[in-house]
Amino acid sequence: MATKERIVIDPITRIEGHLRIEVVIDENNKIVDAYSSSTMWRGIEAILKGRDARDCGLMAMRICGVCTGTHYQRSIEAAEHALGITIPKNARLVRNLIQGSLYLHDHLVHFYHLHALDWVDVVSALKADPYKAAKIAENYSDNPWNNSPNRYKAIQERLKKFVEGGRLGPFANAYWGNKAYKFSPEQNLIATTHYLDALEVQRWMAQMMAVWGGKNPHPQSIVVGGVTCVKDLKDPSRHALFKELLEKSRDFVLRAYIPDILMAGEVYKDEALNGVGAGLGNYLAYGGFRLDDNPMYKGKTLFPSGVVLNKDLSKVIPFDQQK
């Protein structure tokens, strides 16, 4: 009789909350069954019961400080939808700016600080040739971010001190040297450098949200019926600050983030083609960034809604909230 082995990873912490994963593998090291469960119940539903609907957003967003603001805005919009409220155009635009700031921040943090160490071997970067790394970076961008041999040498010195001192911090618990890592030492050095740079860039994006939201995490300027940041909207210096932070963030996205995605996609394309980590291939999108003042779910959005089943991208099923 074939033997099966059960592997448990608990907790998984590189997500917004704690998760327990159990997998059952057969004698060929193939997963034949898998289970996931959330192990930390927040009780937000119980807290909201009986409360004034206008207060729900401020409480609901406490479920997560990373995707901060999303639960907040959706809760406010649910109340507005129930009450038949259409918010002013300027309020809609401000909400889009707040949500857009989070959208940038969330993508950056997920790619570098939650996901990157699954495919970037940080310790391998110590073996890299900084001059070769600078040349490789030019394969993915005409003007790579902060790209110079001296910059890469400085990062290697920082990494060397971490390793020799046994103080790897966020890099302490990983599978360095595992054969599943495919980046060359130079590519690992490029990605690690941008990982560290992104710690500063994500602060810019959080500050963008705070300009109109009051703070980050957990902005507070969105209320049923509109927004409260009227004084900031009348202040030209706040507009100038937001624009400055946006332009700096955009520069990093174009010269580091997107090139790193292209680099990872090129090196790890076989995993994608073989369906590694693909899941079930079913996708649901509610749509995002409202572009007109029509009632909720009836207006135009920048990102359309829809449903994709069984990885069939040729057929997008219209989203129906009743289903």
Domain boundaries, the chain: 1-40, 88-277, 279-323
Please give the pLDDT value at position 76: 95
Name the CA dihedral angle for 108, 112, 115, 116, rounded to a multiple of 10 degrees.
150
What whole-number distance in Å separates Cα of residue 152 and Cα of residue 157? 9
Identity of the residue numbered 281: G
Point out the least confidently predicted range of 23-27, 66-70, 104-108.
Answer: 66-70
DSSP state of 295: P
Angstrom CA distances, 137 to 134, 152, 179, 186, 244, stand at 5, 11, 23, 9, 26
Higher pLDDT, 169 or 234: 234
Query: Homologous superfamily of 88-277 in CATH?
Result: Cytochrome-c3 Hydrogenase, chain B (1.10.645.10)
Flag whether pLDDT at 274 surpasses 90.
no
Percentage of the chain beyond pLDDT 70 is 96
Q: Of 206, 210, 225, which Cα lies nearest the Cα of 82? A: 225
Please give the pLDDT value at position 100: 97
Cα 128-132-138 angle, rounded to 5 deg: 125
Flag whether pLDDT at 266 surpasses 80.
yes
Angstrom CA distances, 6 to 31, 179, 313, stand at 9, 23, 34
* Other Cβ atoms closer than 10 A to 158: 12
**Residue 16: pLDDT band with limits 50, 70, 90:** low
Please give the pLDDT value at position 2: 61
| Cβ 125 vs Cβ 155: under 8 Å | yes
Please identify which residue in the block is written with the tokens 């520069």.
251
Determine if the peptide bond prior to 11 is cis (ω within 30°).
yes
pLDDT tens profile 117-158? 989 999 999 999 999 999 999 999 999 999 999 999 999 999
Q: Of 93, 95, 90, 89, which Cα lies nearest the Cα of 77? A: 95
Longest C-alpha distance within the chain, in Å?
74
Q: Of 256, 69, 228, 47, which Cα lies nearest the Cα of 145? A: 256
Q: Is 270 helix (H, G, I), strand (E, B) or coil?
A: helix
What whole-number distance in Å separates Cα of residue 247 and Cα of residue 68? 22
pTM of the entire predicted model: 0.88
Q: Of 130, 68, 133, which Cα lies nearest the Cα of 103? A: 68
